[in-house]
Amino acid sequence: MYRSNEELFKHIFDEIVFLESETRTISEEVFLKDEKTQRAFARSIEIIGEAVKNISSDVIIKYKEVPWRNIAGMRDKLIHGYFSVDYEIVWDVAKNIIPEFKNQLIKIMDTEKKKNGN
């Protein structure tokens, strides 16, 4: 099913908001002992990665400073490495990488919205 870049950005943003909200309410220590939260974080990162894989190539090329390939790659590692997920890395991504990606995404969404006259 085709989704517009705008829809994909919204899906990504929703998952980022979830991850940021959760990382504010729990510590890494609690996270590493809570399998449900670990799975929720992994799923959010998978959704983000899947959405990134579907963003149009012109946007990917236009915003080269965003680590699109790394984000999509994290999704692939989670999807295909289900027996060997390192949840310390998942925590690090949620806590340290996702906030920077959010800032980049907000700028992209604003720029694309202006470009499209919205």
116 lies in some domain? no
41 lies in some domain? yes
Catalytic site residues?
75, 80
72 lies in some domain? yes
Span between the terminal Cα atoms of the chain, in Å: 24
115 lies in some domain? no
- Comparing CA positions, the residue from 75, 66, 49 lying closest to residue 109 is 66
Q: Is the dihedral of CA 2, 21, 87, 38 positive or negative?
A: negative
What are the 10-residue block averages of pLDDT along the chain, 118 residues in total? Answer: 90 98 97 97 95 96 95 83 84 95 96 80
Residue 32: Cβ-neighbour burial (10 angstroms; 0-12, 13-18, 19+) = middle
| Domain with 101 in it | 5-110
pTM of the model as a whole: 0.90
Q: Domain total for the chain?
A: 1
Please give the single-letter amino acid code of residue 19. Answer: L
